[in-house]
Amino acid sequence: MIIAGLQKTTLIDYPRKIACVVFLAGCNFRCPWCYSSELVLPLKIVSQPRISEKEFLDFLRGRQGLLEGVVICGGEPTINKDLPQFIEKIKNLGYSVKLDTNGSNPKMLKDLVRANLIDYVAMDIKASINNKIYENILGEGVKLADIQDSVNFLKSGNLDFEFRTTVVNTIHTKEDFSEIAKWIGGSDVKYYLQNFRAEKTIDPKFEKIEPFSKEFLEEIIKEIFPYFKDCQVRQG
């Protein structure tokens, strides 16, 4: 496992908790609009500064009583086989843990939940399950059935979770969100949209793409809101 970054405090990444965010390098997707190439592309990962596990755990010891939670983010954290042991060390220090995932590793997700190692999951939904978008971004060995399995598992369990989508102009259409809502919707399901920001992206073409208007995202929300317990645009 490579710890490639640490955001020492966040009030917005873990619902209702003051948290820090730890970034693990490596990802099994290649979303061309991804902002985090330094956490995804092997050639960039090697030149990233790293934080040792000891350094990170010492940081958490120093923040006991000040921070409540740790957000584990990537890249894609579940590609790391030693993720359960890492989270156990965080939990032993008294922190709640939120996992950010693309849903590609339902086995790891289930193992973590069953071992009581995570308290909240945010799963990225890239498109509707039958959309070509998914086929184009999945890395080797990742199957659509795994994404479906993760969705089913979260929806049928007791763990607090949310689904979320970064909405990207030229990739998504309004109709895509009706399909997504029919797929993932449910009376206990929270779903959040985040507007794409043109920044440094894996595919530089996306750096020139204009975000959708606020009004467009609000129209989508109005249409799909009935499918969810909560559905909002979130500021990225």
Q: Which residues would be at the binding site for ligand SF4 (CB under 6 A)?
A: 27, 29-31, 34, 36, 40, 74-76, 102
Which is closer to ligand SF4, CB of 60 or CB of 70?
A: 70
Q: How far is the CB of 25 from ligand SF4 (least distance, A)?
A: 10
Which is closer to ligand SF4, CB of 48 or CB of 91?
A: 48
Q: Using CB atoms within 10 A of its CB, is residue 111 exposed (0-12), middle (13-18) or buried (19+)?
A: middle
Q: How far is the CB of 62 from ligand SF4 (least distance, A)?
A: 28
Q: How far is the CB of 159 from ligand SF4 (least distance, A)?
A: 20
- Closest by CA to 151, choosing from 161, 166, 141, 139, is 161
Q: How far is the CB of 23 from ligand SF4 (least distance, A)?
A: 10
How far from 206 is each of 31, 211, 219, CA to CA, in Å? 11, 10, 23
Cβ proximity of 124 and 167 under 8 Å? no
How many helices and strands, by DSSP H and E, does the chain display?
9, 8
Cβ proximity of 187 and 229 under 8 Å? yes
Which is closer to ligand SF4, CB of 36 or CB of 96?
A: 36
Which is closer to ligand SF4, CB of 41 or CB of 51?
A: 41
